[in-house]
Amino acid sequence: MKRALRGYAGPVFTRLLKLSGALLIVLTIAGDVLAQAAQLHRNLLVLDSHVDIPLDYATDKKNDPGAYDAPLLFNFDTAGQGGYGCVFLIAYTPQGELDGKSTAEARFRFAGNRLDGIERMCAEYPNRAALARSISDVKRIRAGGRLAVAIGMENGYPIGEDLSLLSHYYERGVRYLTLTHNGHNRIADSCNPPDRPYPSGENPDADATRLLRDLYLAEARAAGPPPPLHNGLSDFGRRVVSEMNRLGIMIDISHTGPATVEDALKCSAAPLIASHSCCRALCDNPRNLTDEQLKAIAARGGVVQITAVPSFISFPAGKHELQEALLGKAGALEAGYDSLLELYENDRAVYDKISSRYLASVAEVDSLYPSPGLSEFVDHIDHVVQVAGIRHVGIGSDFDGGGAVTGFAGPADAPAVTAELLRRGYTPEHVRMIWGDNLMRVWGEVEDVARKLAKK
């Protein structure tokens, strides 16, 4: 019996040794990748092209990037942990009515407020951040050990039909303009209808508003794309594109409709960017870009910045169908978004009863279709590289605006993106291009076009 056991234990022990040896090799390789990623990450330009900020930015500890307990994904601590060298903070304006009064009010309430906030933050923390108005500024500020803060303006709505405002915003530091947001404006057509009213107050509870968010998306899917207003760029929009070329403002086509993308490619003398988008081939969301659009943007020298918004990365059709069935069962579809929003604001007891029924049942959907993570995020980078080429992809997280996935849930996780890219076989030079060099190249080309037009 003992001989039999000894005879049996030999092969088992050998197999265990082989398995442990294989595991040791895997762990060693993984450790090598992490060490290589850490070293590389310290020596490249980490540039995030899209980070949102709240209204009244840098006025108190709730929205101060220098406060340790501020409820912001992006702050000086997380940016430092992630090795950020440059970030585009966003002066976002929601789409409103197209009359002159509404446009003027939005210009001051949203765009102006957020631009003031960025300037205030740079003034309050001069040893930690500085405003970058050019690629040479980015290099100088970063060389001095500070964070280079550039400005993107999301939605051309505040411009109304006043072309001179582009010069005003350029002087304030805006270096890219997203032509539209959700909803058409005087410049161009959007890929999505206007946003619906949302619960008032600061930071409404995510669980309490889950019903409203899912119902909003269900109604938007049922409605389909909005009917066109201009069939692409308006006549004024073409003048806007030309003026942006003249000034040296990058043209951002995230949020715009297909005809707008096509018109902008035709009209612009400079490459375009998509500051925070993903790939339609991997996730069928109207905010994402088709392979044909990826190729067309690349053919003109542009860059697509992949975003970390979960619903742009992965949202299976089956999940849509199950959620909509549960919304119907809970009575939400019949009630409609506007009625439920009114209940949320004025009769929370009734709203919470409907919401709790929905939340109890939708938990099973979430377990069947878990949210995407870092791997799925990098899949979109892979896809752009395969379709359009390594020179035409970058990263625009949309942190504090809905962007965050497991493994890349905030700026501090940026080194994990570098490690995942290396693990997939990207060279250090490729990683440099993805993290910042590609966007910097386009920004430089936009500056070159402006200089050439100035000479004419």
380: domain CATH number is 3.20.20.140
The secondary structure of residue 183, as a DSSP letter, is B
pLDDT given at position 225: 85
Q: What is the structure's pLDDT at 13?
A: 56
Query: 218 and 83 share a domain?
Result: no
Total domains present in the chain: 2
H or E stretch at 119? helix 113-124
Residues 245-255: pLDDT tens digits?
Answer: 999 999 999 99
DSSP three-state, residue 105: helix
pLDDT score of 199: 75
Q: Is 284 helix (H, G, I), strand (E, B) or coil?
A: coil
Taking the model in full, what pTM does it have? 0.91
Residue 398 lies in a domain: yes
pLDDT number for residue 1: 38
Which pLDDT does position 211 carry in this prediction? Answer: 93
State whether 319 and 249 are in the same domain: no
Cβ contacts of 11 within 8 Å, gap of 6 or more = none
Which tokens sit at 211?
């019903």
pLDDT of residue 325: 93
272 within a domain of the structure (yes/no) = yes
Q: Are residues 330 and 405 in the same domain?
A: no
Residue 195 lies in a domain: no
- The token pair that represents 163 in the structure block: 């072309």
The pLDDT assigned to 2 comes to 36
Q: How far apart are CA 313 and CA 303, in angstroms?
A: 18
Domain that holds residue 357: 202-225+315-370
Q: Are residues 167 and 95 in the same domain?
A: yes
Answer yes or no: is 36 within a domain.
no
Pair 350, 383 in one domain: no
Residues 230 and 220 placed together within one structural domain of the fold: no
Give domain status of residue 405, yes or no: yes
Are both 88 and 123 inside the same structural domain?
A: yes
pLDDT of residue 29: 52
Does residue 90 share a domain with residue 141?
yes
Around 449, how many Cα atoms within 13 Å sit in the side-chain half-sphere? 23
Of 370, 396, 417, which residue is a domain's last? 370
Tokens coding 441? 């190249």
Amino acid, single-letter form, for residue 384? V
With CA atoms as reference, report the closest residue to 405 among 264, 258, 306. 306
Q: Do 220 and 236 lie in a common domain?
A: no
Q: Please state, in angstroms and rounded to a whole number, the distance separating the CA atoms of residues 404 and 207.
A: 17
CA angle, corner 446, sides to 103 and 256, nearest 5?
45
Say what the pLDDT of residue 27 is: 46
Helix (H) or strand (E) holding 306: strand 303-306
Domain membership of residue 352 (yes or no) is yes
Q: What SS3 state is found at 6?
A: helix
Dist CA 425 CA 402 (whole Å): 29
Domain identity same for 308 and 363: no
Q: What integer pLDDT is reported at residue 363 of this predicted model? A: 86
Same domain membership, residue 162 and residue 54: yes
Decide if 294 is inside a domain. Answer: yes
| Cα–Cα distance measured from residue 445 to residue 439, given in angstroms and rounded to the nearest whole number | 10
Q: What is the pLDDT of residue 200?
A: 59
- Count other Cβ atoms within 10 Å, centred on residue 104: 13
Of the candidates 370, 395, 411, which is a domain's last residue?
370
Question: Tokens for 416?
Answer: 């994990």
In the chain (456 residues long), the average pLDDT of successive 10-residue segments reads 41 58 50 87 97 94 85 95 98 95 96 98 97 98 98 98 98 98 97 81 71 90 90 98 98 98 98 98 96 98 98 89 92 94 93 92 88 97 98 98 96 98 98 98 98 93
How many Å apart are CA 275 and CA 277, to the nearest integer?
A: 7
pLDDT of residue 364: 86
State how far the alpha carbon of 73 is from the alpha carbons of 67, 78, 214, 410, in Å.
12, 7, 23, 5
**Could you report the per-residue pLDDT of 135-162, keeping only the tens digit for each?**
999 999 999 999 999 999 999 999 999 9
Last residue of a domain, one of 336, 370, 404: 370
For CA atoms 158, 164, 170, 172, the dihedral sign is negative
Whole-angstrom CA distances from 183 to 93, 168, 189, 230 are 12, 24, 7, 12
Query: Residue ranges of the alpha helices (H) in 2-89?
Result: 2-42, 76-81
Residues 106, 165: Cα–Cα separation, whole Å: 14
- The count of C-alpha atoms lying within 13 angstroms of the C-alpha of 349, restricted to the half-sphere facing its C-beta, is 0
Instruction: Answer whether residue 17 is part of any domain.
Output: no
Same-domain pairing of 231 and 358: no
